[in-house]
Structure 1
Amino acid sequence: MEFKILGSLEIWADGVRVRLAGSRQERLLAMLLLNANTVVPIGRLVDAVWGERPPATAGRQVRNLAAGLRRSFTEAAGGRVADLISTDGPGYRLTLQERKLDAQVFAAHLACAHRAQRAGEHALAVGEYRAALDLWRGPALGGLADGNRQAGRPLTAGAVGLDEQRLACWENCLELELGLDRHREVVPELSALVAEHPLRARFTAQLMLALQRSGRQADALDLYRRLAARLCEELGLDPAPELQLLRQRLLRTEG
């Protein structure tokens, strides 16, 4: 069986998608997947499923939900799957082989990218970063935790952490591509990222550089002006120091 959390939660068995019996089962499985191959205490599972106001019977319901997941997995695999979910001391463990969870594959590509980058093999590193990014289908867990009153903090924190890893991966990849003189090619992608994450300084700096190196200095400076106005109006802040320094560099070049 294969599991996906880099986007909406999905389970696949022999090319067929497995459907679960409701959002509580989904949240329980999501928490186990975020902590694959480690024991998750029942208390944390309760928090992930119900949040701050669990029912008095939450512990028993967690055991029932786990039993339901086992049945779903066994039925989907025609009885050929080992017991992936096991009781282990104070909680439950979901045991997965390598490359059965997209987040694990993502982490493996990141590790390869970091090794290649440290070795100075930047084109190879970009390929690994791109392979990692290609695994994503949307925000981690597809909103299963975000904005859901019943989703507990551990589930939300896990999804946010994965989303942050994705953005950092994107930043590192684009930084290397700028170093490989692919500034014109990355302008559309960076423009979309800045529109989606307008307050993320590194994306803005990268887009300013890409525009300037593409002969669009005026557009780069206009991007800074628009960001500065938005920060002042909405947050009462100035742009990050790195952006201010970059603006000064561009102004000196313009002069």
Structure 2
Amino acid sequence: MRFNVMGSFEIIDDHGKVHSPGMPKVCQTLAVLLTRPGEVAGIDSLILELWGDSPPRTATTTLQTYIYYARKMFVTEGLVPADRNPLVTCPQGYVLQVDADRVDAVVFERLVAEGRAAAENGELEAALGLLRRALALWRGPVLGSVHAGRILKGRIARLEELRIRALELCVDAEIRLGRHREAVAELRELVAEHPLNEWFHGQLVSALYRSGRRAEALQAYQDLRRTLREELGVDPSAEVQRLYHELLAPDRSGRPPADRPVVRSAHRTTVPPPRLPVCTP
């Protein structure tokens, strides 16, 4: 089996057939378990996800029913043998015991971590390859077909932030390789998708100027300035403004300004192997 959460929720069997539980709450329960495969999801956390701060009195029993239907789905759909169900009960809750590399979000996180490490080591071509592979797994909004409660919303937000970081790293690698012209098209798309992300705007301004398109670079800055004022009532950051002033008055050598602002640092994300606690089917 393969599990896709970076887009609509899908379970794909070895023949490529897509399966999905019919009950929304069952999908939601499995989604929580899949975003942390191999880790125990506590009963209290699952109840919080499914019903928020107002769970019914029968919440624990109803959760057990959803677990039952999820297990039944695995067997009736022919995904697993009846005696090897991956959804097991632990003293603290439930765990989905699947190979982490079978979950697209886990593969995504691993590839981004490897791409970041390669970039830090100066292996820019290798970094680009890893990061492009990671971003290719993104099929749309994370768990777009599943209602998200408090737990899932936090995990979805984390993956979305990691995607932005992967995009930043890709752009930075392209620019460090001197591919300013190639970066312009991607950056235009990114500033349209993330109009309040000043880093993308700043890199677009710089890439345009370094490609010999100074007038367009100045216009890109004005577009950012107008957007920030209309949406937030603020001006661009001091770093982006400094870049703008360098565009207005380039030094006599004719050299373009330094790429500003610098890519933000981020903590390295690693994906440890799943810990499989002693549980019972």
Q: When the two structures are superposed, what TM-score results if normalisation uses the length of structure 1?
A: 0.92
Q: Does 2:11 align with 1:11?
A: yes
Aligned 8 A contact 2:6 2:140 in 1: yes
Whole-Å separation in 2 of the counterparts to 1:27 and 1:3: 14
Distance 1:144 1:249, change over 3 A: farther
**Structure 1 residue 68: Cα displacement:** 0.8
**Secondary structure of 2:204's match?**
helix
| Alignment partner, residue 103 of structure 2 | 101
1:83-162 correspondence runs (5 A): 83-142=85-144, 144-145=146-147, 151-162=148-159
**Structure 1 residue 118: Cα displacement:** 2.3
Aligned 8 A contact 1:122 1:176 in 2: yes
Deviations 1:143-189 (A, max 9, x none): 634xxxxx321111111110110111011111111111222222222
Whole-Å separation in 2 of the counterparts to 1:194 and 1:65: 42
**Secondary structure of 1:141's match?**
coil
**Secondary structure of 1:86's match?**
strand
**Structure 1 residue 78: Cα displacement:** 5.3
Corresponding residue to 1:165 among 162, 167, 171: 162
**Structure 1 residue 98: Cα displacement:** 3.5
Q: When the two structures are superposed, what TM-score results if normalisation uses the length of structure 2?
A: 0.84
> Which amino acid is the alignment partner of residue 49 of structure 1?
L
> Which amino acid is the alignment partner of residue 140 of structure 2?
G
Aligned 8 A contact 1:13 1:76 in 2: no
Provide runs of 4+ in structure 1 moved above 4 Å.
Answer: none
1:156-235 correspondence runs (5 A): 156-235=153-232
Which consecutive unaligned segments of at least 5 residues does structure 2 have?
A: 253-281
Whole-Å separation in 2 of the counterparts to 1:230 and 1:117: 32
> Which amino acid is the alignment partner of residue 99 of structure 1?
D
Aligned 8 A contact 2:4 2:105 in 1: yes
What RMSD over aligned residues (CA atoms) do the two structures have, in Å? 1.7
* Mean Cα deviation higher: 78-87 or 203-212: 78-87
The structure with the largest helix share of the pair is 1
**Secondary structure of 2:228's match?**
helix
Deviations 1:187-211 (A, max 9, x none): 2221111011110111111111221
**Structure 1 residue 33: Cα displacement:** 0.9
Whole-Å separation in 1 of the counterparts to 2:55 and 2:140: 29
Q: Does 2:33 align with 1:32?
A: yes
Aligned 8 A contact 1:211 1:220 in 2: yes
**Secondary structure of 2:37's match?**
coil
Which consecutive unaligned segments of at least 5 residues does structure 1 have?
A: 146-150
Aligned 8 A contact 1:5 1:140 in 2: yes
Deviations 1:64-88 (A, max 9, x none): 1111111111222354373211111
* Mean Cα deviation higher: 207-216 or 45-54: 45-54
**Secondary structure of 2:249's match?**
helix
Whole-Å separation in 2 of the counterparts to 1:227 and 1:172: 21
* Mean Cα deviation higher: 96-105 or 129-138: 96-105
Deviations 1:47-100 (A, max 9, x none): 222233322212111111111111111222354373211111121111121310
**Secondary structure of 1:11's match?**
strand
Whole-Å separation in 1 of the counterparts to 2:117 and 2:162: 17
